[in-house]
Structure 1
């Protein structure tokens, strides 16, 4: 089965309060856990680091400098 580019991993630009889709897709990967995050469920990211996070706990640990 062939996947279209809109079914795969998206590329986003993360702003301070929203993100912009640079390449279409259905998900991004958490920069820490590498688990896929559906775009409609994406709530946590860092505009400064341009990273997505699966949970608020992961985001907090990452932004405090822990992995």
Structure 2
């Protein structure tokens, strides 16, 4: 039986073209905005920083911060 992880924040390992779930959940937080990002909508992250971003704009802001 598949169990729902509703409302629980996941911990991920960000890889070059994918991510690996370390702790099950249904979302992660954007490192820039703090916004909740559903795992099925996660498109932007940094492998070097191991951070997720809610949008291309947030990812760009993170890159500019260094």
Structure 2 stretches lacking a partner, 5+ long: none
Aligned to 1:38: 38
Aligned-CA RMSD value: 1.7
Partners in 2 of 1:5 and 1:12 — Cα distance?
17
Q: TM-score, normalised by structure 1?
A: 0.86
Q: TM-score, normalised by structure 2?
A: 0.87
Partners in 1 of 2:32 and 2:58 — Cα distance?
7
Aligned to 1:53: 53
Corresponding residue pairs, total:
63
Indicate how the Cα distance of structure 1 residues 5 and 11 shifts in structure 2: closer, same or farther if over 3 A, else same.
farther
Structure 1 stretches lacking a partner, 5+ long: none
